[in-house]
Amino acid sequence: MQHATIEHQIQRAQAHLRGQRAEAALADAQAILQQVPDQRDALYLRAVCLRYLGRVDHALAACATLLEAAPDYGRGWQEMGHALRAAKRPEDAANAYARAIERNPALDGAWRALAQLHGNGGRHDLADDALRQLAWLERLPPELRAVEDMIAEHRLEKAEQIVRAFLRVNPTHVEAMRQLALIGMALNVLDDAETLLAKAHEFAPGDRRVHTEYVNVLLRRQKYAQALVHAERLLLGDPDNAAPRVSRANARLGVGDMEGAIADYDKVLALWPQAESVHLSRGHALKTIGRHADAVEAYRAAYGVRGDFGDAYWSLANLKTYRFTPDEQAALAHWHQAPRVNEVDRIHLHFAYAKALEDAGDHAAAFAQYEAGNALRAARSRYSPAAMDAEVARMIAATPASLFTGATGGAPDPDPIFIVGLPRAGSTLIEQILASHSAIEGTAELPNVLAQVHALSGRDTREADAHYPANLARIAPEDFTRMGERYMAETRTLRSGKPFFIDKMPNNFRHIGLIARMLPKARIIDARREPMACCFSGFKQLFAEGQDFSYNLESIGRYYRSYLTLMDHWHTVLPGRILTVRHEDVLDDLEGQVARMLDYLDLPFEEACIRFHETRRAVRTASSEQVRRPIDRTGSEQWRNFAPYLTPLRKALGDALPQ
């Protein structure tokens, strides 16, 4: 059945329903479903029609079928709530409505029903919350109510058109500004979203909804110190509200105040023990400071609240040293293919189940799960290997040796040590070794260089050489100095006073030219790993954000080659500036490689660097548990267990493979 025909029949069925002709509407919906059994709108209309006709049991079954096909559809959960109310099941109805507004906060019918159900059940606090949300929705201009719904349903292009048209007439309308920022956040255009929310907060400093989203975008941009200030202000205005306390906890995590973050999470959970995401965040904080057993219990508490909470299982798997219990393995076997599991949870469940199967020695089944999880995750990405190749070519063209020879400007500070390369290349081990030295402290994968790249990207100009990286040749020495000084100022809050600090953002390898100009005395270590081991380890890893190249074997192989091409260029134009440290060499000759790195950094040898696993510090990456143990080679050859399935990776790597 053609799309236009389906649309016509959907519209006709909706018209029948508005005219109280439910039987005719049901017939249209059934006709569509005979041709396209999983057509979401037809499934929804069928459920509504059956309820209108008083066929409640059939309506419930229709809702179940709808939610199996579209588990993230807020209106589907709302209709399930309506059907459950009709079946005289108020508690189940309230749960369905809660799931509906979690997925789409613009559903006024769900809020109205929740207010009634909570009021009838004596939960007047929850009823009042629902009525407040309903009143806010009803105050919105009709265009913005529609946009709120479109954002929740990911119809972002249409939503953006409407809200931009509204802002042309009402340029200081803070709700419209907030909505445009939410669209930007959904599209990962975080700098524009931050600008919009900062301005909206300036216009309406008392608007808590705007203020909350401003904190959220600051957290997304890893501007943790700033986010902490604003979260404190929100909490001061409403100390009993869990949301700003969670925001403050997340900001405290970012600035390294792990104990403060855990205390905030504990306060929230004392009042709201069913908050699975707070259990999860608490587990992350405990993991970061090395409290492994407590982190495990926190992750288990998270899936105890919601059995299909994929991130809880993946977080256990991501400890790397954890082994799932038989009950957990059975849960993974069930949930990864269960209906009504949303896509994000399903992705996490595939990766977690893959790890469980790998640990059990069933490598064929494990690879099938890794492949399924990666395929779902790749479908959510717009990553293009060709675009990456073009980016590398532009960078090489824009950064000839003449850009650096005799260059002046840049901040004179020698403090930063950049560890760059691919994820899963051994950078966390290098960081742990170096951070065990009395003169060096580890921080995190800092976003500051990437933020400077965004600032230089010049989206608002059509001049080709005004865009990064071509504009590097046009930047005055004093501007490079200002950039370096800004970097040092922004990172100061993360330091405790040691002479040197580590910035472990791996993607900075793409911007070594900028680093060399704005921080000419910074040291740069390239963490490199054997290509098959590095790439397959990346393929097995579900990253919290970014690294979209890693969800396809061919893409990750091509990315590795692009990385080698660019690193060869940096070594050519910046001779002697970069130290390449191979992971296999560190495993084979720890003391020799430690001496080599410290010699490059002009620092004396310290025995603590050899005993790096004894160092107590926060480690935020996937290797946090592994670097708290002595050197172990067992993980370096794990890819060989999957060798029969890695032909696409070998082909993509080509001559990057050792000869």
pLDDT one-digit tens code per residue, 441-467: 998 899 899 989 988 986 555 565 678
Q: Are residues 7 and 121 in the same domain?
A: yes
| Residue where a domain terminates, one of 139, 173, 188 | 139
**Spatial CA neighbour of 263 closest among 275, 276, 248:** 248
Q: How many domains does the chain have?
A: 3
Q: Determine contact, residues 412/519, Cβ cutoff 8 Å.
A: no
210 belongs to a structural domain = no
Q: Are residues 423 and 348 in the same domain?
A: no
Q: Half-sphere exposure of 54 toward its Cβ, with a 13 Å CA cutoff?
A: 0
589 belongs to a structural domain = yes
| Residue where a domain terminates, one of 139, 172, 191 | 139
Q: Which domain holds residue 40?
A: 3-139
Task: Determine the pLDDT at residue 552.
Answer: 96
329 belongs to a structural domain = yes
416 belongs to a structural domain = yes
For the record, the structure tokens of 446 come out as 């800092």
Alpha-carbon distance of 464 to 51, in angstroms, equals 59
Q: How far is CA 56 from CA 339, 522, 559, in A?
A: 21, 69, 54
524 belongs to a structural domain = yes
For the record, the structure tokens of 497 come out as 């006073």
Task: Describe the crossing of helices 326-335 and 343-359 by its angle, rounded to 10 degrees.
Answer: 140
pLDDT one-digit tens code per residue, 19-57: 999 999 999 999 999 999 999 999 999 999 999 999 999
Q: Are residues 432 and 334 in the same domain?
A: no
Task: Determine the pLDDT at residue 457.
Answer: 84
* Residue 652, SS3 per DSSP: helix
238 belongs to a structural domain = no
Q: Are residues 88 and 22 in the same domain?
A: yes
Q: Are residues 336 and 416 in the same domain?
A: no
Task: List, run by run, the mean pLDDT of 10-residue segments along the chain (659 residues).
Answer: 76 93 94 92 96 96 94 95 97 95 95 96 92 95 96 95 98 97 92 95 96 96 92 92 94 91 96 94 94 97 97 96 97 94 95 98 98 96 94 97 96 97 94 96 91 79 74 96 96 89 96 98 98 97 91 97 98 97 96 97 96 70 51 77 97 93
Please state the separation of Cα 228 from the chain's center in Å.
20
CATH code of the domain containing 516: 3.40.50.300
Q: Are residues 320 and 427 in the same domain?
A: no
Task: Print burial letters for 615-629: b (CB count within 10 Å at least 16), e (below 16).
Answer: bebbbbbbbbbbbbe
Q: Are residues 354 and 439 in the same domain?
A: no
Q: Are residues 375 and 360 in the same domain?
A: yes
Q: Are residues 340 and 365 in the same domain?
A: yes
Q: Are residues 363 and 428 in the same domain?
A: no
| Residue where a domain terminates, one of 116, 139, 162 | 139
Q: How many other C-beta atoms can be found within 10 angstroms of the C-beta atom of residue 577?
A: 16
DSSP bridge partners of 502: 417, 442
237 belongs to a structural domain = no
Q: Are residues 354 and 393 in the same domain?
A: no
Q: Are residues 338 and 436 in the same domain?
A: no
Task: Determine the pLDDT at residue 4.
Answer: 62
CATH code of the domain containing 78: 1.25.40.10
Q: Determine contact, residues 417/434, Cβ cutoff 8 Å.
A: yes
543 belongs to a structural domain = yes
Q: Determine contact, residues 115/95, Cβ cutoff 8 Å.
A: no
The burial class, CB within 10 Å (0-12 / 13-18 / 19+), for 430 is buried
Q: How many other C-beta atoms can be found within 10 angstroms of the C-beta atom of residue 46?
A: 25
The burial class, CB within 10 Å (0-12 / 13-18 / 19+), for 379 is exposed
